[in-house]
Every structure is written in structure tokens, then in C-alpha cells.
Structure 1
Amino acid sequence: MRRLPPLRALEAFVRTVKLGSAKAAASELAISAPALSRRIKALEDFIGKPLFDRKAQAMTPNDDAHRLIEAVSPALDMIADAVDAVSDRDAEFRLRLGVLPLFGSQRLIPNLGELRRLYPKLHLDVITSTHAENLLGDSVDAAIIIASQVDEKLYSRRLDTNSVYAITSREFAERENLQEPNDLTGQTVFVHSEMPGTFDAWRREVGLPNLKPASVDHMDSGPLMLEAAAQGLGVAIMHGSHFSDARDERLTRLFDIEVKSPYSYWFVCRPRALERRAVRVFHDWLVRAEI
């Protein structure tokens, strides 16, 4: 049999490339940064060439690294599939799911009781991440993401369509006398850093494409945006479902205007992953339940 590189070295390499950060990869693997570097160095020594350009504290994958990850990712998937195939089909089975915190708290957890009732042997390991699609085949089996479009190499299923709302606290809206969209001039607006197009779409639809608030502050957390709005710190431009699912009496929707969002929630996984029981069962339940 041909000699193979250490699996731990390959795992460290794959996670570093996919996560885009040695620090993030070390955290995912629960090892120290020096230990991660040693594993990657062992792989580089094995193949006889560097895989990263190292400058200061940064590690940037080079062309050889990208070629290698394209080659080894399918093989690692096949290993995982082979292990899954010989597992006890009547035993407990587990899904590693990447999910956005707001979707998890508002839509997944409230419906998890039904999933457990239907499939008592299915268990979820939930990983909250804003870029869970980058972890597919590595630390997650499937993910629920929010995006305007999905990489065509992935299997994807759109879970919803949504509208964009302007949301703030009732007290703030009354105090600032926010009666029409142009009243946002001079206010602080919160926009999700991963969904910058929501504010652009909202401004165009209300007929004010050049509307300039006093400040546009970006956050990478939907729950934090809702709380900031509820505290009267400004106006959050975000999905209407987040407003309705929050059921927060402190919040109110400004202006009765329907604006279609360019973003949707999607279920995504690698095509081969649907052959796995846990992924298939969860996917079919999610589509059927329409949560």
C-alpha cells in the first residue's frame, strides 16, 4: 500500500484553508496554534513543498494548496461515507448542523420537539456560524445559511422568501416622530454585515435611493441588531420574519411598505451528503415542516 500522509495533518490543512484562518482552524480542532502549525508542516514535509505563503502572522494558501484541497476533499468525503455505511443503522444517528443564531433561536429550536418526536434516534450537534457553508464536509454535514445565491457546486434548497422591514422601538419611533422613510435622515441605521443589500433594496423601493442616514452601523448578529433597535439606539433594516418571530413588545415596524429581500434562508450541503441518513432525514423534515 502506498504511504499516506497523517490524517490529522490533512485535517489541519483542510480546516485552515476552508476557514481562512489558522487561529479559527486551531479553535475548531481544539488544539494550540503551534500544534496546528506542526501538523501543517508535517504535511508540507511529506509532499516536499510549502502549501502556504507565510507573512508576519498570516498564512495564505498558495496554488498548490488549492489544487490539493480540490483533490483530497472528495476522498475525505468517501472515507466519512464508508464509516457511516458500516455504522449500526438501528442505533442513534447524528447530524452536525451549521446554523445562524437567529434562525436557530427563532425557528429551529421552537420546532425541535416535533423532530425529536418523529425521529427520536436523530441527534443534532449545532454549530452557530455566519459562514457555515465553508465548513461543509469538514466540521458540519449540512448548513442553514442566508444568501442571495448559493455556490452551484452545492446542493441547495430555498427555505423562504422575505420582506425587508425598518424596525425600531415604539418609544424611539414616537420620540423621533418617524412618520415616513425620509425621516431616517439623521438617524443611526443598523445593517447586517453579511446582508448589505437589504438597505440598498429598501431605499430603492421606497423611492429614496440616495437616502443618507447619520450613520450606517454594521453588525454580524441578528439578535444584537434586534436588541439595539429595542433599546432605541437606532433603526434596524432586516427581515420581517425576524421581527414577527421575535414577538418583542418593545419593537415596532416603521412604514407600511413591502420590500422584497434579495436574501433567503437556504438549506445547503454537498450533493453526496444527501446519501447519509441523518442529512436526508433532517432535510426532508425541514422541507415538509416549512419552519
Structure 2
Amino acid sequence: MRRKAPPLEFIEAFVAAARTGSFRGAADKLALSPSAFSRRIRNLEDFLHAPLFDRSQASARLTPAGEQYLQAIEPAMDALFRATLDFRGEQTAGMLRIRAPHSFAISWLLQRTAKFMALNPDIEIEVTIGRGLDELRAGKVDAVIAVGPNEPHSFPQDRLIELEAAVVAAPTLLRGRTPPRHPRELAGHHVLCEEHAPNLWYTWLAAAGLDTTDSWSFTHHETLLMMYEAAAAGLGVTLGMPLFMEKYFQEGRLQACFALKQPIDYWYSLIYASEAISRRTDMRRFARWLHTEITHSQQHFADAVARAGSWEHADVPPVHQSVARVDQNPAQRRA
């Protein structure tokens, strides 16, 4: 009697290759030799009478038929994985492998992981530093904390908060200058940017109904943390964001220049490797804790900005400004 479904080992190999984008990487993940792995893929394609991968590419890129098949079987594979974990009782504890951008991890996340592990002694967290979703696709991490624009991808995710930013500076700037008291005073100050997000100032100013001029002086820094340290040293003004600012505000090294915060089209998101991982009990506990911690930090930021005082009635003469984008050079957008 002819089989109506392919062997599960064939499907497992197919899903692994589709998720990692590499036959070799998927073979290593399944502890198979490259030739044994390739045979499983070929046998599945023979069973389905359709090519699933475009072999003219160096990477394991799916054909349209492969994309269609993956969408059809991936939920079932995730459900099978989840059911097995439930049966074996492995969903209540484990090791969470979390990837996060450098500045976010160093300035906010790492100092809080001990708190989470104290509240959840049966769960450990391993934090690695990096941007993008390549490690997620390769199955090397369970989730990525992304800070940046809401870029399209196929992974399940939870949006945590939409970011707003406020102008911040050290209490005393270089050469004894005082921080700006009004958005229109920004044109007379040195402005600090992060090189992976060169147009944040443009987005913020547009939301505030203001423009930039070609005479503005910008300095780009490699990471947000470097940018904020430069601002704390009095080297210029910059855009402060929730979470990053908490330590600086508490220590008095940075302060909001005026009580105005604007959206910058950036989000904090928790992006999962699969639906099954997103539903694991240990991951759900981490996600709830993360959301609570971020909400508290966001409120701390809002309160600190509000204490800066009103800028609307500051005695500053109006300035006519012409529109010019902050930085037209292409750059990565994830912060």
C-alpha cells in the first residue's frame, strides 16, 4: 500500500533546512552527514513530485512550492514539538537563549537578568550580543529582543512598547554652555547621532513640527551607549529613549532639556524562533516579566521628561528654518 505521507525524518530535514537557510547548517543541527541529509531532501522531493529548493543558489532558498509546503506543515511540526515537551514535562523550566543589541543588553537587560532568575530559580538566561535575525534563523537562540523599526519578517513576535524620545544633555555642556531650553535652540548646539539610525533626528523633528538646517553639526557614534556617554561628557545634545536613559537620569549625568517627547517609529519587540517556543511556559514567564520591567522603565522616563518643565512659553525668539534631511547616506536602521 502506497504511503500517503512522507516519513517524519524527511519533513524534519526539510524544516531544518528552510529555517537555517543552509543544508550544511541543518545537517549539523540534526547530526547527519551532508550526503545523508541531501538524500532526505531528495527523497521528500521525489515523494511530493516537486522541487522544494532552488539549487542554483548557494543558500538553501525555497522554491514557490517549497514555500507553500513549509507554510502548510510548519504549524503541525510546531504542535508536535510542543505536545512532546508537554508529555515529557519539559515546558516548566529550561535555558532561555536570548539575543539582544549591544547597548540595550549592556545598559539595561543584563543588570536585570539576575532579578528574573531569582524570581524564577528553575530558569536560566543566556544573553548573547548581536543585531538581526540570522541567529534566530539558524536555531541558535530562542528569541531576539529587537530595538528598531518594525521591519517585516516571518517569525512570531510580541510588541513590547513603541518608543518615544526626548532631547537630553548633560547639566553643563562643553565650555560651560547651558542645555537648550526650547526645540528652536537646537540649531545652535552640537547634535549627537547613532550611525545605525542616522534619521532618528529627522523623524523626531518632523513629529515636533520642526525642521533642520544644513548648518547643523552632527557627530555619529558607533553604538547608542557610546553616543550617550559622549552626551553625558557634555559633548552635545542627543535623543534619549526609555530604558537607555534610566541610569543616566538616576545618576544625574543626563537630563531632559524640556518636557517634550515625540514618537520615532521605533519599537521594542520580542521575536521568537517559532510558535512552539513562544508558547513555552518558561518563555511566557520571561515575556511577561520583560513587559512589566519595560513598562516600569518607560514610566520612569515619562516622569523624568515631565519634570523638565514646559518649553511652550520659553522666552526664545522664533527662527525660520529650511528643511534638510539629517543624513541621506544609506545605513542600517536597527539600533
TM-score higher than 0.5 here?
yes
Name the residue aligned to 2:266: 263
CA apart distance, 1:98: 3.1
Secondary structure of 1:266's counterpart equals strand
Distance 1:115 1:217 in 2: 34
Name the residue aligned to 1:15: 20
Deviations, residues 62-83 of structure 1 (Å, cap 9, x unaligned): 4344334423432442343134
Contact 1:164-1:259 at 8 Å conserved across structures: yes
Matching residue's letter, 1:135: L
Distance 1:173 1:30 in 2: 57
Deviations, residues 75-99 of structure 1 (Å, cap 9, x unaligned): 4423431342233459852223233
Name the residue aligned to 1:99: 100
The count of aligned residue pairs is 275
Q: Does 1:203 align with 2:200?
A: no
Contact 2:91-2:281 at 8 Å conserved across structures: no
Name the residue aligned to 1:225: 227
Name the residue aligned to 1:183: 188
Name the residue aligned to 1:19: none
TM-score of the two chains, using structure 1 as the length reference = 0.67
Percent of aligned pairs with the same amino acid: 16
Q: What is the aligned counterpart of 2:42 among 40, 45, 54?
A: 45
Deviations, residues 74-125 of structure 1 (Å, cap 9, x unaligned): 2442343134223345985222323333332333222223322221111123
Distance of aligned partners of 1:280 and 1:196 in 2 relative to their CA distance in 1, 3 Å threshold: same
Q: How does 1:71-86 map to 2 (within 5 A)?
A: 71-86=72-87
Q: How does 1:100-179 map to 2 (within 5 A)?
A: 100-132=101-133, 135=136, 138-149=139-150, 154-158=156-160, 160-166=161-167, 173-174=174-175, 179=180
CA apart distance, 1:39: 8.3
| Range with bigger deviation, 137-146 or 107-116 | 137-146
Contact 1:12-1:36 at 8 Å conserved across structures: no
Distance of aligned partners of 1:78 and 1:271 in 2 relative to their CA distance in 1, 3 Å threshold: closer
Name the residue aligned to 2:279: 275
Deviations, residues 10-44 of structure 1 (Å, cap 9, x unaligned): 4243122xxxxx6xx95xx796xxx9987885565
CA apart distance, 1:182: 0.9
Deviations, residues 261-286 of structure 1 (Å, cap 9, x unaligned): 23232334455545321112222333
CA apart distance, 1:127: 3.5
Distance 2:177 2:279 in 1: 55
- Structure with max Cα Rg: 2
Distance 2:95 2:207 in 1: 44
TM-score of the two chains, using structure 2 as the length reference = 0.60
Deviations, residues 119-146 of structure 1 (Å, cap 9, x unaligned): 1111123243333498279444344322
Secondary structure of 1:281's counterpart equals helix
Secondary structure of 2:88's counterpart equals coil
Distance 1:157 1:188 in 2: 30
Matching residue's letter, 2:10: P
